[in-house]
Amino acid sequence: MSSGRHLAKGSPTPDVPEDGILRLYSMRFCPFAQRVHLVLDAKQIPYHSIYINLSEKPEWLFEKNPQGKVPALELVREPGPPVLTESLLICEYLDEQYPLRPLYPRDPLKKVQEKLLIERFNAVLGAFFKASDGGEIEPFWNGLDVYERELSRRDTAFFGGEQTGILDYMIWPWCERLELLKLQRGEDYNFDETRFPQLSLWLERMKRDVAVMAFYMEAEVQAEFLRTRSAGKPNYNLLVKDA
């Protein structure tokens, strides 16, 4: 079972028990991988996490997953076994295959409206990356306006209603990183609570969510990882406790 150590080129195949439990190929600092962790944890689906060094990917990763993509979910009990990629598609599969604690609404119209909002967030997360990289921050705030309006319109604790739903989890990884943005931009960071009153409350509720807490990372650690990556030597194993 991976202790959080990211496996790199030359490493042997991971020492994971043949126990029929799902295997998630992941990376501790990847927001897309985080989406899958959130769904697995929210639905209480057991899984093994195998963390991958994305700069020097282990050879064996490509045997199961020819494109070497992360996140990737290996469905060990199925013939093959098949490996699913694309964070949104993995999450949809999990919600369909494991019907307890459904995250997508059942009604086709309500479901498609969630999908549209998830799809629309692509532009927002793009704006986040630019802001995190020293670009303008305003486009990111403009993107969040849509979600503030939507949450206000729904008038519920979460986008999913009184409980978290798929939209809450699909956008969470970038919302968690607001603290990171604050650290990176310092004085320049201008998150306005009066512009985002509902989202501000939602942020605090989400931080207390069990699935969110399972993968939550302090901004300082995120920032340190990114700093090492910019320096050309990404330190994937920042969180690994050496025995």
Q: Which residues are catalytic?
A: 30
**Which range, of 3-11, 110-118, 134-142, 174-182, touches another protein by CB under 8 A?**
110-118
Is there binding between residue 111 and another protein (CB under 8 A)?
yes
How many residues sit in the footprint of another protein (CB under 8 A)? 20
CA distance 76 to 190: 46
If the CB atoms of residues 119 and 218 are measured against another protein, the closer one turns out to be 119
Is there binding between residue 75 and another protein (CB under 8 A)?
yes
Is there binding between residue 214 and another protein (CB under 8 A)?
no
Strands lying side by side in the sheet with 83-85: 47-51, 22-26, 72-74, 83-85
Name the DSSP class of 66. T
Of 87, 186, 195, nearest to 140 by C-alpha is: 195
CA distance 141 to 150: 14
119 exposed, middle or buried (CB, 10 Å; 0-12, 13-18, 19+)?
exposed
If the CB atoms of residues 72 and 180 are measured against another protein, the closer one turns out to be 72
- Beta bridge partners, 158, equal 161
Is there binding between residue 82 and another protein (CB under 8 A)?
yes
Candidates 13, 62, 89, 188; binder of another protein (CB under 8 A) is 89
We find the least distance from the C-beta atom of residue 90 to another protein, in angstroms, to be 8
If the CB atoms of residues 72 and 178 are measured against another protein, the closer one turns out to be 72
**Span 114-143, contacts to another protein by CB under 8 A:** 115-116, 119
CA distance 240 to 5: 6
For 185, phi then psi, to 5°, come to -100, -15
Is there binding between residue 97 and another protein (CB under 8 A)?
yes
- Let me know: does 8 contact 56? Beta carbons within 8 Å: yes
If the CB atoms of residues 46 and 232 are measured against another protein, the closer one turns out to be 46
Residue labelled with tokens 């406790």: 241
Is there binding between residue 145 and another protein (CB under 8 A)?
no
We find the least distance from the C-beta atom of residue 84 to another protein, in angstroms, to be 5
Is there binding between residue 108 and another protein (CB under 8 A)?
yes
For 157, phi then psi, to 5°, come to -60, -40
Candidates 18, 78, 162, 187; binder of another protein (CB under 8 A) is 78
We find the least distance from the C-beta atom of residue 159 to another protein, in angstroms, to be 16
CA distance 81 to 201: 42
Do the bridges between strand 22-26 and strand 72-74 make them parallel or antiparallel, or are there none, so unpaired?
A: antiparallel
Contact positions vs another protein (CB under 8 A): 75, 78, 82, 84-86, 89-90, 92-93, 96-97, 108-109, 111-113, 115-116, 119
